[in-house]
Amino acid sequence: MFVDEARIFAASGSGGDGMVHFRREKYIPRGGPDGGDGGKGGDVILEARSQLGSLTPFRGKVHHRAQPGKSGGGNRRAGKSGVDLILGVPRGTIVVDEQTGSVMGELMSEGERLRIAKGGRGGRGNARYATPSNQAPRMAERGEPGEQRWLQLELRLIADIGIVGVPNAGKSTLLAALTRARPKIGAYPFTTLQPNLGVAQLDPETTLVLADIPGLIEGAHSGVGLGTAFLRHIQRTRVLIHLLDGSASDPLADYSQVNAEMALFDPRLAEKPQVVAVNKMDLPPVAARWPDLERELRRAGVTPLAVSVLEGQGLEALLQAASRQLAARRSQPQEEPESVPTYTTEPSPLEFAVSRESGGDWRVRGKAIERAAAMTYWEYEEPIRRFQRLLERLGVDRSLREAGIRPGDMVHIGEYELEWSD
């Protein structure tokens, strides 16, 4: 199972309720309204941390909730705000809203933060509603509900150079030889079940981050074998080392297959600079067929390198060639970003929809109107009148009339059921 994707539920804290309260002290018979505001609910925030390398912790804990705000008190005392919930994620994590499919953001730098659920605003106490004409308002707000959403977290490895090829071509062994990484290595396909990272030191001032991308087989672009998850990791690299197994029955077919799978998944992958190397030159049959392989690859416009990962033959030249390609890529002034998430704007919160349910009742859906219903104190007349005015301002009243609502019909807004009356 891959550790680069996770599904989580984030819920911010609801705001605390505002208070309806009047000052009561000896010798002060009419102290006036002094109900305080509720505290703000806590946010849920993702923070990029370089010491984290996977999304594994989110597999054991899916639900994450921030603290709610406290209710207001008398004497204009405001409620305490809820504490924000900060969740650490690896750098390179992409956050997708599951309901809309839109990318909320991508956390790339150490300490970068993304608020994924905003805490609800605290309700206003009745002290806020006092006016010269209404000096004793029995009016306050409940706290604003917090946001709740399911999110998909996706980690695309950040590497300068990706090592690609068919299974068992020697990619993990090459990574171990070029860097200090210690990936699992075995003489059978799919030894690598998740990408490995390593750092190669070219000189005292130059380091390269390499990723060993698990082997690609025919149909990988549609999920066959180890699926499309690994192809997504290739999107996060700038240059590719394409390692061919010189002992395979047809290395040229393997070369074409891997390039075809990358192009089918994302045409831009096939355009990434590649350094092609034929491995296992320490084997006599491979050394004997090298002139033919070199000639055929050159005919295809490729200048291949002969290497033996096991013996360390040609590895320095391979790394230098990849480094030159990387330097050329970085120097391009119009280089497109390596990740190109599509950010979509959310609909206006003031939008709403009116529909007739099967039982004959009416349903009003909309972020703003449902939030306002949840923040209304239905026990008091003044908040109810205020809510009715909001229905008129947003156009809900007119839409219901145009849809044919009649006195006595029931209207559902969020969790609340109201009876329509002219």
* Residue pLDDT, tens place only, 35-85: 999 999 999 999 998 777 668 788 788 999 999 999 999 888 999 999 999
Listed in sequence order, the DSSP H helices in 198-343 are 229-234, 251-265, 284-299, 315-331
Show Cβ contacts of residue 46 under 8 Å, excluding neighbours closer than 6 positions: 86, 87, 88, 89, 93, 95, 107, 113, 114, 116
The separation between CA 182 and the C-alpha centre of its own chain, rounded to angstroms, equals: 29
Residue 218's pLDDT band (cuts 50, 70, 90): very low
Structural domains of the chain sorted by starting position, each given as residue range(s) with its CATH number in brackets: 1-155 (2.70.210.12), 161-331 (3.40.50.300), 353-419 (3.30.300.350)
pLDDT for residue 417 is more than 70 = yes
How many other C-beta atoms lie within 10 A of the C-beta of residue 163? 27
Reported as a pLDDT band with limits 50, 70 and 90, residue 231 is: low
- For residue 23, is pLDDT > 90? no
Q: How confident is the model at residue 269 (pLDDT cuts 50, 70, 90)?
A: confident
How far apart are alpha carbons 206 and 200 in whole angstroms?
A: 9
Q: What is the pLDDT of residue 147?
A: 93
DSSP state string for 87-119: EEE-TTEEEEETTT--EEEEE-STT-EEEEEPP
* Greater model confidence, 28 or 318: 318
Between 336 and 403, name the one with better pLDDT. Answer: 403
Average pLDDT over residues 1-27: 82
Residues 145/95, Cβ–Cβ less than 8 Å: no
Check whether 236 has a pLDDT greater than 90.
Answer: no
**Residue 279: helix, strand or coil by DSSP?**
strand
| Predicted pLDDT of residue 220 | 36
Closest alpha carbon to 152 in 347, 7, 297: 7
Indicate the pTM of the whole model: 0.56
Tens-digit pLDDT profile for residues 344-378: 445 566 788 999 988 889 999 988 888 888 888 88
User: Per-residue pLDDT tens for 95-142?
Assistant: 999 988 888 988 888 889 999 999 999 999 999 988 888 888 888 999
Rounded to an integer, what distance in angstroms lies between the CA atom of residue 209 and that of residue 199? 5
pLDDT value at position 204? 63
Q: How far is CA 235 from the centre of its chain?
A: 16
Say what the pLDDT of residue 156 is: 67
Cβ contacts of 420 within 8 Å, gap of 6 or more: 362, 400, 405, 406, 407, 408, 409, 410, 411
Exposure class string for 167-186: b at 16+ Cβ within 10 A, else e: bbbbbbbbbbbbbebebeee
Predicted confidence (pLDDT) at residue 184 exceeds the cutoff of 80: no
Q: Sign of torsion, CA 40 46 52 57? A: positive
What is the pLDDT of the chain when averaged over all its residues? 82
Distance CA 174, CA 330 (A): 24
pLDDT tens string 299-328: 888 999 999 998 999 999 999 999 899 888
- Examine the pLDDT at 217 and tell me if it is beyond 50: no
Tokens standing for residue 53? 């390398």
pLDDT score for 387: 87
* Residue with token string 């990408």: 195
Q: How many CB atoms lie within 10 A of CB 94?
A: 21
Average pLDDT estimate for 145-157 = 87
How is residue 384 written in tokens? 């109810």
